[in-house]
């Protein structure tokens, strides 16, 4: 019995923050697939505080996301738990970590990463070709900084994106991965134990699963 308890205590937990926006099943399944231990999709602040790692996903309109995040007190919770353990923001979860978004007439966000979330625009053109918005599909990510989460992922590896708004980082040194779709944007940001990506690792096949596996193995230092 003692051995069983010991083994259970050794299993790390990953909390996937659920604030009612979007299906988190695919993120949880991908984490389980790469051996993340106990994956808990939860809106319980205590469970999130006790987790070894925290994932902050998000889809949909930023106004609705931020309204729920603030209603649940998750803005202060995210500031707290992202300081001292590996923390991963995904898609709108990444955008919510910035200062401000232009979406929905302008929305103040959590402010962990300085910078703005801007609209690609309806007249996005490159080399004379009109680009569809949202940016949807596979795109290269240029690794601008060596980071443990890029382990065994080739530079300019392709990841899956779905977004109409892009991140204009306030601190260029925090941009660890860059994307380009009509204009340059931050595809990945990092600061301390915080890492955030605009793409969907859970939909990005080999490279995405490798990034999640790296996250599960990461101690939050680099």
DSSP 132: P
Active-site choice (65, 91, 109, 207): 91
Task: Let me know if 102 is a catalytic residue.
Answer: no
Can the peptide bond before residue 58 be classed as cis, meaning omega within 30 degrees of 0? no
Residue of 135, 163, 200, 207 marked catalytic: 200
- Report the C-alpha gap between 205 and 222 in whole angstroms: 25
**Is 109 annotated as catalytic?**
no
Work out the number of other CB atoms within 10 angstroms of the CB of residue 217. 14
Check if 202 is active-site: yes
What single-letter DSSP state applies at residue 128?
T
Who contacts 71 (Cβ-Cβ below 8 Å, separation ≥6)?
none
**Per-residue burial over 48-65, b = 16 or more CB atoms within 10 Å of its CB, e = otherwise:** beebbbbbbbbbeebebb
Dihedral angle, C-alpha 138, 140, 144, 150, nearest 10 °: 60
> Choosing from 65, 109, 163, 202, which is the catalytic residue?
202
Strands (E), 43-106: 53-56, 87-90, 100-101
Which positions are annotated as active-site residues? 91, 200, 202
């Amino acid at each position: 019995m003692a051995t069983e308890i010991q083994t259970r205590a050794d299993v790390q937990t990953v909390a996937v923050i659920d604030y009612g926006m979007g299906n988190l099943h695919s993120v949880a399944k991908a984490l389980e697939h790469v051996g993340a231990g106990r994956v808990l999709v939860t809106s319980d602040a205590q469970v999130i505080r006790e987790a070894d790692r925290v994932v902050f996903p998000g889809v949909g309109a930023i106004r609705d996301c931020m309204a729920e995040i603030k209603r649940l007190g998750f803005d202060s919770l995210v500031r707290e738990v992202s300081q001292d353990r590996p923390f991963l923001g995904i898609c709108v979860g990444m955008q919510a970590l910035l200062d401000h978004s232009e979406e929905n007439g302008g929305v103040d966000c959590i402010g962990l990463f300085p910078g703005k979330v801007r609209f690609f625009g309806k007249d996005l053109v490159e080399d004379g070709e009109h680009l569809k918005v949202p940016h949807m599909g596979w795109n290269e990510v240029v690794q601008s900084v060596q980071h443990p989460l890029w382990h065994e992922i080739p530079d300019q590896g392709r990841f899956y994106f779905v977004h109409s708004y892009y991140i204009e980082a306030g601190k260029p040194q925090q941009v660890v991965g860059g994307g380009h779709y009509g204009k340059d944007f931050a595809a990945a940001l990092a600061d301390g134990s915080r890492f955030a990506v605009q793409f969907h690792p859970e939909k990005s096949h080999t490279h995405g699963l490798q990034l999640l596996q790296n996250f599960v193995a990461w101690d939050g230092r680099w």
